[in-house]
Amino acid sequence: MRNVDLYKMALNLTRKDRKGNAFSVGEFNRYLQMANQEYYSQQLTKYEMSQLLTDSLGPFAVTGESITVTTAVGNLPAAETTCTFTNATEKVNSTGHSLSDGDVIIFNNEGGAMPDEVYADFPYYVVNKATNDFEIAVTSGGSAVDFSGDGTGTTKYRDAYKDYYHLIGDPLWSTTYIDRVTNLEHATRERNELTKASIDYPTVREAYTVSTDKYKLTFYPTGAFTSETVTVDYLRKPLVPFLDYVVTTAGLAIYFGQGDTRTFVAGDTYPVAPYTPTTANTYDAQTVELEWNDFDKVNILYIILSRAGVTIDRGDLVQYFEQQRIAANTI
């Protein structure tokens, strides 16, 4: 059975805005991305209150991730690996890596630039892996990316499905749970004689570091965390789904949804970097994940329509969705 295609449903319902004008591809994609993030944020609030209030974020949870805390500081995402690119062989060099074909990774660079064909924070699939190197593709099992240079600076990659978003629960240090506190809470405790003693117990504070694109976890008392292993649970970033499309040489935008493929010809333009074909090729929809269940999809669709200025009763939308689900599962 096939799942209801959220993208095509939303596209059908947002063909026209309130003035009767057709939405552009760019506008539609922005609505979809905003709706996905807005709904994620709504569920995150519930998740923070109690994980029993919502199971929508379950697929985004990473549990039991071990990080090394050195001089009282640990970083998330933790597992980053340094690599280099070789233009002559189109290889990504990473000695003794543990990747497998089909793994999804993202790259970032510090102090230089990656080859022009490699984009930061864009999900790439591992293909043709060997012991000390591998190639990357923009689709699972697809053609390897052809590098135009070796790149400069320091490039690192990490598992796209472990990209840190939000710490949940209290980190575990051996058999001790570490209390999460904010800087303000820590200062408040220190000023109050009744709570001052509590800051002597292990605590952790988190803060985003722009220069390294990491979340820094600082553990207290600092003297107790010179070189320790701490286990954390966190929610990873959603890899925002989008409705894919290709602009043909004739300027026609052809849409394709999750699981669809299209044959591109030389000169076609794929709006999401890095794919602009110079030769004919078949391309899969670049939707890495759509992990919401059917109930979530209805709510996301409602947000999309609201953002787009389309007024519809939620009950009517649920009924429409159910009709589409039945139709999609009827083969």
In order of start, what are the domains of the chain with their CATH numbers?
A: 6-45+239-328 (no CATH), 61-76+164-236 (no CATH), 81-162 (2.40.30)
| Average pLDDT of the chain, as a whole number | 77
Enter the tokens of residue 24.
Answer: 């552009």
Asked whether 170 and 233 are in contact (CB, 8 A), the reply is no
| DSSP letter assigned to residue 211 | T
Q: Per DSSP, what are the bridge partners of residue 17?
A: none
Rounded-to-integer distance, Cα 58 and Cα 235, Å: 9
**Which residues contact residue 69 at a Cβ distance below 8 angstroms, ignoring those fewer than 6 apart?**
217, 219, 225, 227, 228, 229, 230
List pLDDT tens digits, range 103-132. Answer: 989 898 988 999 988 888 777 889 999 999
- Judge whether residue 24 has pLDDT over 70: no
pLDDT band at 331 (very low <50, low <70, confident <90, very high): very low
| Residue closest to 245 by CA, chosen among 218, 211, 272 | 272
Rounded-to-integer distance, Cα 289 and Cα 208, Å: 25
* Proportion of the chain in helix, strand, coil states, percent, rounded to 5: 25, 30, 45
**Which residues contact residue 298 at a Cβ distance below 8 angstroms, ignoring those fewer than 6 apart?**
314, 317, 318, 321
Q: Which residues of 84-117 are buried (b: 16+ CB within 10 A; e: fewer)?
A: ebeeeebbbebeebebeeebbbbbbeeeeebbeb
- Judge whether residue 2 has pLDDT over 70: no
Residue that wins the pLDDT comparison between 254 and 179: 179
CB count within 10 Å of CB 233 equals 15
